[in-house]
Amino acid sequence: MRIQYFPLLVLLQIFVACSGEQGPTDAEKLGYFKETYESNREAFRQLCARMKDQRAEASTLNVPSRSDKDLTIDLCYFPPATPGGKLVIITSGIHGIEAFASSAIQRFFMDRLLGKLNRADLGILLVHGVNPFGFRHERRVTENNVDLNRNFDETPALFQTKNEGYSKINSLLNPTEQANPGNLSNRFFPLRAIYNIVMHSMAALRQAALQGQYEYPKGIYFGGSDFEPQKEILSPRFLQVASSYRAIMLIDIHTGYGARGKLHFFPNAIKDAATRKRIETVYAGYQVDYGDTKDFYTTTGDFSEYLGKLLKGKEYIPMVFEFGTLDSQTTSGSIKSIHNMILENQGYHYGFDSDESKAEVRRRFREHFYPSSSVWRTQVLTTSEEVFPLILERFSSL
């Protein structure tokens, strides 16, 4: 029955794409958005260096690479006046290309919001560009095609995880010929996806595709066969900074999933009642998707979950901030999102049939995770301006 409604979904999608976005823009806010990995990193470093009045402490962690020089994760730490209280960790770029927007959010937070906070016993640690290879090359994944947000855990047992559902749709998700977004297979991709939705349900398809998988190294959402360097690089620093605090709140910034321009809150599945209670207190009035409803999905190798294990004994509040871009909470938006992922990954591994195909796929992928819309970018920072101070004030009051 869903198939007969498909043409209407396509027409609606075309209408929205052609109608243009309506909403306010703010030139000052737009100035925080930069267009390269290097320009974002330099802006972050310069801003941290200027914030001596906030006692900012800058540091740099080098990320090894076979092909790239000078890949770094940059940190800016603001200690509280009184030690032993609460620490907020704000991370960007676990999915590399998503760091373009999340870097702007971090710098906007530092420049415009930090000085207004009551930080008597509140420390702030900003971690910039966790996946610098993906950031520089505009991919979500690392040099090893690893989705970092499926790669963190305490033991290598993670890499034995089986995702049975993924194998059933592997041929849909990972074609092996040269990428051409205009060929018949891709023109009819929505119909093929709808067929799989009818056969397996949207919830089952979403869970199978997005959970993470450890069997197909060239496939999308590959979680790796071993830990990426970021775990070894970052874990000691997190332990060092967090050692003097009793409570930790993580805000891990992402873009992509959800209603366009809307901020979604995803803590992954929370089993601990005390942690869930703290989340409910801090995020009261906001819709929090815990991944335990039929319409959502859970992941393996999740960074935020790992950080809680690493900092065991601390009161811990994890949260992913996800700014939607393609209305992927809808059927049509979800299909478009996964198709963008497939084409980008296919082209990276198997090449493109033409320079035009390569340019189109890369354009779609960048727009997927870093929309060029001035309305969207303004909305992201306007929402951040409203949410961050309230959330941090509530956390500080716990």
The HSE-up count of residue 190 (CA atoms within 13 Å, CB side) is: 20
Instruction: Report pLDDT for 206.
Output: 75
Give the pLDDT score at 1.
27
Q: How many CB atoms lie within 10 A of CB 235?
A: 16
Does the pTM of the predicted model rise above 0.95? no
Query: What integer pLDDT is reported at residue 293 of this predicted model?
Result: 61
- Reported as a single tens digit per residue, the pLDDT across 269-314 is 788 899 999 999 999 999 999 876 655 677 889 999 999 999 999 9
Distance CA 235, CA 244 (A): 15
Q: DSSP states of 244-310 as a string?
A: T-SEEEEEEEEEESSSTT-EEEE------HHHHHHHHHHTTTS-B--S-STT----SS-HHHHHHHH
Q: Of 140 and 7, which is predicted with more confidence?
A: 140
Query: Does 179 have pLDDT greater than 90?
Result: yes
**Residues 209-219: tens digit of each pLDDT:** 788 899 999 99
Give tens-digit pLDDT for 368-384. 999 999 999 999 999 99
What integer pLDDT is reported at residue 141 of this predicted model?
98
